[in-house]
Each structure stands twice: as structure tokens, then as C-alpha cells.
Amino acid sequence: MLFNLPRYLPSAEELPDSDETPVDNELQELIPGLLKAILLILWSERMDWFFGVDMGIYYHPDKPPIVPDGFLSLGVERVYDEELRPSYVLWDENVIPILVLEVVSQNYRKEYSTKLDEYAALGVLYYVIYSSRRRRKPRLEVHRLVNGKYELQEGNPVWLPEINLGIGCERGNYCGVTREWMYWYDEQLKRYPTPQERIKQAEQRAEIAQQRAQQMAEQLRSLGIDPDTLD
């Protein structure tokens, strides 16, 4: 899909930054937003990755972009400048996203047909589909590109060795809503906490440390030692 490009290639600033299509389900923003929020903490010191949410991927200047709900690229600059990326232009980035995410809403948007073929032709290694509508089949599907075709991977979560992360879904709370959410996992398939969970964990650790300090002070006083006189 990147072959036969015209001689003039517009920059990201010259291309539309949206396909003007609104999301038709709030989960299409919240689920990829949560995945990105976790990465921003998990990979806070890394500057060689980018996670786009509802952002156009341009593969040809004369064709409309592909707009997944979320995508991850490795080996690219996380931040260009203070204006940030308006879109993801492949002839500028020179890196195909390694993972794309589609959140199926009430209205199917060709996630299992046209988009599947487009991502395969583009060479995206992992194609992840999440659908809360499914009842008898798994809601999460992780497809891996093998010889030009996507193969469904078993399990939840699924380990992604090229990314050194697992991806899966389970019940939890995010933005005050308790339901099934998507998360990243470590190599032991233990879920990484959300930003809100990290804050709560830090508060709990601080509370425990304060309680221990108070207990120590009381023990010293019982021995006739004033803890305020100790360095």
C-alpha cells in the first residue's frame, strides 16, 4: 500500500487531521484512552513510542486515511514538538504501527472485513478487536499477522513478545464506571494498574508508613524515650 507514491508527498500539517466521523460509542474513546494512560506511566522514560487515539493513518496522499480507535507504533519519536502530531503519516514516520485497536460499537464499521484486509495489506502485526456486544463468543480478539493473513491468538490476556507486553480485558473501575475494560499485562500476565489505582496504592503505602511511624513512637515513649529528641 506504500508503493507507487506520487513525487510530491504532503506533510502532516497539510493533510486533514480528522475524517470528520464522530465516534458512536463512548467506549471507542475511553478504552484506547485508558491503554494510552497506562503506557504514559509505564513507559514514562521512553521516547521511542507513540499511541494514537482516533487518529488518521495516511498511507497514500491521494487516499483517505485509515482511522483505528487506537494504534501503537514503536521506534518513532513520541513527541515531535509542542504542537504534537495532527495525524500519522507513513511516508514521514517510516514505521508501520505494530498494533491497531478497533472497538466495535452498535454499528459495525467493517472491523471484520474491509479493515481487517487493510491492516493486513499495510503490514500491521497485531490487529485487536474488542466488542462488548458479543455474548457467546470472546469479546476480545487478538489477531497476529502470519504470512500476510491474520491468525486469531488464544487466551485472555495475550502475550505480545514484540511489544514486551500482554493485552487483555477484565472487570474493573475506570472513570467511575465498573465494567469490563482493556489493560496491559506483564510477562507473568499480571495486570498493570491504571493511573487512578497507582494513586490509591501510593496513598495506602503512605498511610501504612504513617501508622508504623506512630507505632514506633508509642513504643519509644513506653520505654521512656522521647521520639522527638531522636534524629
- Bigger pLDDT: 25 vs 189: 189
The pLDDT value recorded for residue 209 is 64
Establish if 218 belongs to a structural domain: yes
Whether 11 maps to a domain, the answer reads: no
Residue type, 201: Q
Same domain, 133 and 198: no
Q: Is residue 5 part of a domain?
A: no
φ and ψ at 126, to 5 degrees? Answer: -120, 130
Say yes or no: 51 and 146 in one domain: yes
68 and 179 assigned to the same domain: yes
Q: How far apart are CA 37 and CA 41, in angstroms?
A: 7
Looking at residue 93, which CATH number applies to its domain?
A: 3.90.1570
Q: Please indicate, yes or no, whether residues 147 and 176 belong to a single structural domain of this protein.
A: yes
Question: Residue 25 in contact with residue 105, Cβ under 8 Å?
Answer: yes
**For the packed helices 195-222 and 27-42, what is the interaxial angle rounded to 10 degrees?**
50
219's grid cell: 513504643
Same domain, 57 and 132: yes
Based on its alpha-carbon atoms, the radius of gyration of the chain, rounded to whole angstroms, reads 23
In a domain, 18, yes or no: no
Range of the domain at 208: 194-230
- Quote the number of domains for the chain: 2
pLDDT for the residue numbered 212: 73
Residue 2 Cα to chain centre, angstroms = 25
pLDDT band at 180 (very low <50, low <70, confident <90, very high): very high
Are both 143 and 128 inside the same structural domain? yes
Is residue 153 exposed (0-12), middle (13-18) or buried (19+ Cβ within 10 Å)? middle
Does one domain contain both 183 and 200? no
In 10 A of CB 103, how many CB atoms? 24
Q: Are residues 172 and 206 in the same domain?
A: no
Contact 28, 80 (CB under 8 A): no
**Where does residue 102 fall: left (phi above 0), alpha (psi -120 to 50 degrees), or beta otherwise?**
beta
- Please check the confidence at residue 118 and state whether its pLDDT lies above 80: yes
Residue 73 counted as domain residue: yes
Do residue 152 and residue 127 come from a single domain? yes
Does residue 214 share a domain with residue 151? no
Indicate the helix (H) or strand (E) that contains 168.
strand 165-174
- Is the domain of 55 the same as that of 166? yes
Rounded mean pLDDT of 207-212? Answer: 68
Averaged pLDDT for residues 191-197 = 93
Averaged pLDDT, 79-84: 78
Within this chain, do residues 172 and 159 fall inside the same structural domain, yes or no?
yes
Lowest mean pLDDT among 58-62, 76-80, 120-124, 212-216: 212-216
Q: Is the pLDDT of residue 164 over 70?
A: yes
pLDDT over 90 percentage in the chain: 56
